[in-house]
Structure 1
Amino acid sequence: MSTGLVDAPVGAGVRVVAVSRSPAHGFSKPREDAIRLLAGLGVEGDAHAGVTVQHRSRVAVDPTQPNLRQVHLIHAELHAALAEAGFDVGYGELGENITTQGIDLLRLPTGTRLHIGTAEIEITGLRNPCVQIDQFRKGLLRQLVYRDALEALVRKAGVMGVVLAGGMVRPGDVIETVLPALPHRALERV
């Protein structure tokens, strides 16, 4: 029986296409030539970096929660699908730090590790899209979160992770994917 999870992709086509960060809490993040990942913290100079949760809605609930959302990744294929649906959304404009290509991030199991140069990220879960997306582009939220034919909630706004090993990340960097030991657990929102 299929779990719906993806096998580890391999090849030079699995790479970083853009990197972004912002020191201010806001929706979009400007693109950069490179970002530095800091072990246990996140993206250097990014508002969401920290040992404890930095997302304002999460801080309001419990500011002592561990930060499982240090790095936000979205696959470039989502940007292409949004363009086909009539939404012109550039890399970083959905708040992601790393835009990838050639890997179905949403189907990776919890605990997957992504090696990018000397940096290593562990995937912790799915980003939960919020109403800010419709404030950015009216109608966009329906493209990123909806119920499927079986009434299961589908979240497509990328994945979140924590930094296990620091290092520089640049567009063009190859991504090596290491799946966790079996049994695999599907991603849930974090």
Structure 2
Amino acid sequence: MAKVVSINISDKKGVVKTPINEGEFIEDYGLKDDAHAGKWHRQVSLLAKESIDKMTALGVMDLSFGKFAENITTEGIVLYTLPVGTKLKIGRTIHEVTQIGKECHTGCAIKNKVGQCIMPKEGIFTRVITGGRIKAGDIIEIINED
């Protein structure tokens, strides 16, 4: 079963995010008070704990949740295999996958330390379709629209 393991926030771009108990996700905007929120296609970023574990296996230490600037850290779902357009129910919210991966910004601390970063290949971005609160432990489901 897929679930949320952490909600993470920052008030400016290009920095590590800090875990919070729960977040308010606003329809067509993103995580309230997060620097990456706004009226665009990358309102919320998600990264799997399994992806972070791959970096730990390469010898990168101290990879607490939010270190890759992800808003939602997940477990039990292979995010980067979800097609763009997939809808996810996260807690009571609904998100639509809008992008898989991204270009790493210049000076990425993780990339500089180990020569690679997983966010560009395994992180995903969503747009908030239905807002609400999300907290660690909330279930993540793929919505089938057949």
The answer to whether TM tops 0.5 is yes
Structure 2 letter corresponding to 1:24: K
- Give the Cα separation in 2 of the matches to 1:180 and 1:80: 32
- Give the Cα separation in 1 of the matches to 2:89 and 2:35: 23
Give secondary structure in 2 for the equivalent of 1:96: coil
Instruction: Give the aligned partner of residue 104 of structure 1.
Output: 78
- Give the Cα separation in 1 of the matches to 2:60 and 2:144: 33
Give secondary structure in 2 for the equivalent of 1:138: helix
- CA deviation digits over 1:63-83, x for unaligned, max 9? xxxx11000000110111110
Note the residue ranges of structure 2 that are not aligned, 5 or more in a row.
none
Residue 25 of structure 1, CA deviation: 2.0
Residue 15 of structure 1, CA deviation: 0.2
Structure 1 letter corresponding to 2:29: L
Instruction: Give the aligned partner of residue 49 of structure 1.
Output: 37
Note the residue ranges of structure 1 that are not aligned, 5 or more in a row.
1-12, 52-66, 146-154, 182-190
Query: Who wins on radius of gyration, i.e. which is larger?
Result: 1
Instruction: Give the aligned partner of residue 143 of structure 2.
Output: 178
Is the counterpart of residue 84 in structure 1 residue 57 in structure 2?
A: yes
- Give the Cα separation in 1 of the matches to 2:140 and 2:8: 17
- Give the Cα separation in 1 of the matches to 2:115 and 2:27: 32
Residue 138 of structure 1, CA deviation: 2.2
1:72 to 38, 45, 49: 45
RMSD: 1.9
**TM-score between both structures, scaled by the size of structure 2:** 0.90
User: 1:134, 1:140 within 8 Å by CA — same for their partners in 2?
Assistant: no
**TM-score between both structures, scaled by the size of structure 1:** 0.70
- CA deviation digits over 1:26-64, x for unaligned, max 9? 32110000011000101000011111xxxxxxxxxxxxx
Structure 1 letter corresponding to 2:141: E
- CA deviation digits over 1:137-185, x for unaligned, max 9? 524452438xxxxxxxxx424000100000101000011112466xxxx
Structure 1 letter corresponding to 2:5: V
Instruction: Give the aligned partner of residue 160 of structure 1.
Output: 125
What percentage of aligned pairs have identical amino acids? 31
Structure with greater strand percent:
2
Is the counterpart of residue 30 in structure 1 residue 5 in structure 2?
A: no
Give secondary structure in 2 for the equivalent of 1:130: coil
Is the counterpart of residue 94 in structure 1 residue 82 in structure 2?
A: no
- Give the Cα separation in 1 of the matches to 2:106 and 2:8: 18
User: 2:110, 2:117 within 8 Å by CA — same for their partners in 1?
Assistant: no
